[in-house]
Amino acid sequence: MDIDKLFKVPKLPAGKRKLPDNPSLDLLKKIKMDTEAPPVPSSSNGPAKGKRAVTMEEVDEDEDMDRDFAPGGDAGYFAEEDDEGRFFGGGLTSEQKEILNIFDNAGGEGNQDDPDALSITSIRRMLLRFERAVNKNQDHRSKYPGDPTKFIDSEADLDSAIKALLPLAQAPVLAYPELVRSGTITLLIGLLSHENADIVIDVVEVIHELTDEDVGNEDEDEDEERTSEEALKILIEGLLENSILELLVDNLTRLNEVEESDRQGVFHILGIFENILGFNPQLSTQLVSKTSILPWLLTRIQFKTHDENRGYAAELLSILLQNNQPNRLELGKKDGVETFLKVLSQYRRRDPVDADETEFMENVFDSLCSALSEASIKTLFLTAEGPDLMVLIMKEKLQSRSRAIKTLDYAMSGTSGTASCEAFVEALGLKTLFSAFMGKTSKKQKSNAPPPASEDTSHILGILSSLFSNIPSESPARTRLLTKFVEGNYEKVDKLLEIRDNATNRLKLADSEIEAEKKALISDGEEITSEEEDTWYLRRLESGLFTLQTVDYILAWVAMEDDGIRAHLLQMLDRKSLSMQDIIQTLRMFYDNVDDEPEPPPEAAAGSDDRAPSQKEILAGLIAALDPATLNDNV
């Protein structure tokens, strides 16, 4: 018997097997079974008698089979089959496969890209793997400090171990307390001082993800969200105990933003600050006082080229200065006001190029406005010729004009804004201000241009109110101010009355809604508390009362100081079935709700004759001057 003939491989058909355009799953399995060699029993003496293993060389012709149907042309589509015939290709890129491998390695037997698969055991295993990677890398670096080839492998393992911590953000309730309890958080923050900047960037990315305000909040109820917040609080406290703020600021100066990876690292560092301050705004004082973040931010916003990190720096500045007096005062010490004006001056003659730069400009203006709440900052603003720059910006009528008007409103408010009011008039700001107030356009502009925005009108009224409150009587500046209301046949007075009508109509609508709510409470037998009264008053202010009070305050001043304006005002009020008594009633309500200003400092009290009157004192004087019993008007 010819043994070779018995075991000779049969010849294949001459033509190749062709697959249909859309092969079925059964056909794919059949092809796999046809090309798969039968299992060969193993023994110490080699293959069993009478049988031999089929080698790949004997089926080379099958390798030429047309496999163009693989989705996406994925070369690994067939190479990634398992013993059960499942396919794991499907067009994944090499980078996507590497990411999946990282998550698979991080979770041991479990599938770690599913948050539900995270257990306390898998978390501890993950943290232990990270700790071993850190210790191994430190050991190799200490043993071979001058030979990178000796520790490059351990550094790659450390890189993978750090990235494997990213899924912990999906299970904060389990992971965050364990991070702190095990001391892993200390090891992680310690890597911010690592010699390899790429390792530092990895750590920053992980911390940014872990501190995100939305960690673990997907599809959770209120109780679970509250638990996530408690876990986040534990994590942030652990970060602060390990000097996270100082180490992050130190790395801002270390990273070179010319490199893309470093630029992303800076972005994530700023994101960590935003996350921490969003969770606890009170930490903003600590961030500014204990680190050099403020000088870095002021330097960063001065870069000529605009990018996302420049915009982020401006946004973080606005967060740090909002409702924070210590940070505002520190800004003055760091020449921050002059820096803001220098940055904003570039928008005097040009608009921002896109929405991102527009947001940057607005954040710088908002930061300056927040700082101007302090008297010392107003002095620095005046010294740096801020009022002059704002007037120049207003004249150009670009996007920055509205922000300049808002800035002047903040700078000129209160008794500490007197000097800025005088500087504004000296800079010929009245003409520009009233042009914006009346909505007048230049000859180059369309005659049907839209009227000024309501926000602009509100701030213009605030500026006018400050001018009347702060400019001394009988001074040339005050005469110029009153003259503006006489020009154009008292058109500015008519404009004020038009704004007053609009505010009154909005207020009436709000009053009707509030009255209905009061009746509903009374009918239910509930008592109206002082808190509800305060809430309703705030609603009335937002619904037109604040505008009404400001307009009537200005009308009271011009009526008291100029007989011609008063006669015209009374005539126009009479046409609307109103009288001066309506203005007096508004002022009395204003007087009843305005807070008494704090006592002046000791140095001002010594010269009490020069003390500026408070808002309440001014209102009392206006009410007395406009009372019909003392004014011989024709009401």
Cα–Cα distance between 382 and 378 in angstroms, integer?
6
Decide if pLDDT at 432 tops 90: yes
Residue 14's pLDDT band (boundaries 50, 70, 90)?
very low
466-493: burial string, b at 16+ Cβ within 10 Å, e else: bbbbbbeeeeebbeebeebbbeeebebb
pLDDT per residue as tens digits for the range 565-579: 999 999 999 999 999
Residue 446's pLDDT band (boundaries 50, 70, 90)?
very low
What percent of the chain is predicted at pLDDT more than 70? 74
Q: What pLDDT does 634 receive?
A: 38
What is the domain extent for residue 77? 3-92
Q: pTM for the full model?
A: 0.76
User: For residue 24, is it within any domain?
Assistant: yes
HEC string of 457-517 equals HHHHHHHHHHHHHHCCCCCHHHHHHHHHHHHHHHHHHHHHHHHHHHHHHHHHHHHHHHHHH
Cα–Cα distance between 338 and 344 in angstroms, integer?
10
Asked whether residue 431 falls in the same domain as residue 538, the answer is: no
User: For residue 233, is it within any domain?
Assistant: yes
User: For residue 325, is it within any domain?
Assistant: no
For residue 233, which amino acid is it? K
Q: Looking up tokens 């190749």, which residue turns up?
A: 16
What percent of the chain is predicted at pLDDT more than 90? 60
Asked whether residue 219 falls in the same domain as residue 86, the answer is: no
Q: Are 592 and 615 in contact (CB under 8 A)?
A: no
446 exposure class (CB count in 10 Å sphere: 0-12, 13-18, 19+): exposed
Taking phi first (over 0 means left), then psi (-120 to 50 degrees means alpha), and beta for anything else, what does residue 397 get?
Answer: left
pLDDT per residue as tens digits for the range 132-188: 999 998 888 888 777 777 788 888 999 999 999 999 998 899 999 999 999 999 999
Instruction: Work out how many domains the chain is built from and give that number.
Output: 4
Asked whether residue 66 falls in the same domain as residue 132, the answer is: no
**Dihedral sign from CA coordinates of 323, 329, 334, 336:** positive
Of residues 467, 619, 629, 455, the one with CA closest to residue 553: 619
Cα–Cα distance between 518 and 540 in angstroms, integer?
14
Q: Are 327 and 321 in contact (CB under 8 A)?
A: yes
Q: Cα–Cα distances in Å, from 614 out to 181, 332, 359, 550, 620?
A: 56, 26, 37, 16, 10
Last residue of a domain, one of 59, 92, 125: 92
Q: Which two tokens stand for residue 259?
A: 């490199």
Decide if pLDDT at 553 tops 80: yes
Any idea of the CA torsion for 356, 372, 472, 541, to the nearest 10 degrees? Answer: 80
Asked whether residue 87 falls in the same domain as residue 152, the answer is: no
Asked whether residue 57 falls in the same domain as residue 104, the answer is: no
Asked whether residue 108 falls in the same domain as residue 80, the answer is: no
Decide if pLDDT at 469 tops 90: yes
Q: What pLDDT does 52 receive?
A: 42
Of residues 182, 220, 225, 190, the one with CA closest to residue 207: 190
Last residue of a domain, one of 92, 107, 124: 92
Q: How many residues in the chain?
A: 635
**Dihedral sign from CA coordinates of 601, 604, 609, 615:** negative
Asked whether residue 588 falls in the same domain as residue 458, the answer is: no
End-to-end CA gap in the chain: 136
Asked whether residue 64 falls in the same domain as residue 18, the answer is: yes
**Which residues does 466 contact at the CB level (< 8 Å), separation at least 6?**
409, 412, 413, 414, 417, 421
412-442: burial string, b at 16+ Cβ within 10 Å, e else: bbbbbbbbbbbbbbebebbebbbbbbbeeee
DSSP string covering 541-571, please?
A: IIIIIHHHHHHHHHHHHHHHH-HHHHHHHHH
Asked whether residue 138 falls in the same domain as residue 65, the answer is: no
pLDDT per residue as tens digits for the range 348-357: 999 999 999 9
User: For residue 261, is it within any domain?
Assistant: no
User: For residue 168, is it within any domain?
Assistant: yes
Asked whether residue 26 falls in the same domain as residue 119, the answer is: no
Asked whether residue 397 falls in the same domain as residue 427, the answer is: yes
Asked whether residue 143 falls in the same domain as residue 238, the answer is: yes
pLDDT per residue as tens digits for the range 295-346: 999 999 999 899 999 999 999 999 999 999 999 999 999 999 999 999 999 9
User: For residue 87, is it within any domain?
Assistant: yes
Q: What is the mean pLDDT of the chain?
A: 81
What's the distance, CA 208 to chain centroid? 15
User: For residue 501, is it within any domain?
Assistant: no
Q: Are 408 and 387 in contact (CB under 8 A)?
A: yes
Cα–Cα distance between 299 and 129 in angstroms, integer?
40
User: For residue 452, is it within any domain?
Assistant: yes
Residue 556 sits at φ, ψ, to 5 deg, of -65, -40
Q: What pLDDT does 594 receive?
A: 82
Last residue of a domain, one of 242, 259, 276: 242
Cα–Cα distance between 361 and 352 in angstroms, integer?
8
Q: Which two tokens stand for residue 337?
A: 């006001």
For residue 490, which amino acid is it? Y
pLDDT per residue as tens digits for the range 20-79: 445 555 544 554 455 444 444 444 444 444 444 444 444 444 444 444 444 444 445 444
**Which residues does 521 contact at the CB level (< 8 Å), separation at least 6?**
527, 528, 532
Q: Among 277-286, 370-379, 543-552, 590-599, name the one with the lowest average pLDDT.
A: 590-599
Taking phi first (over 0 means left), then psi (-120 to 50 degrees means alpha), and beta for anything else, what does residue 471 get?
Answer: beta
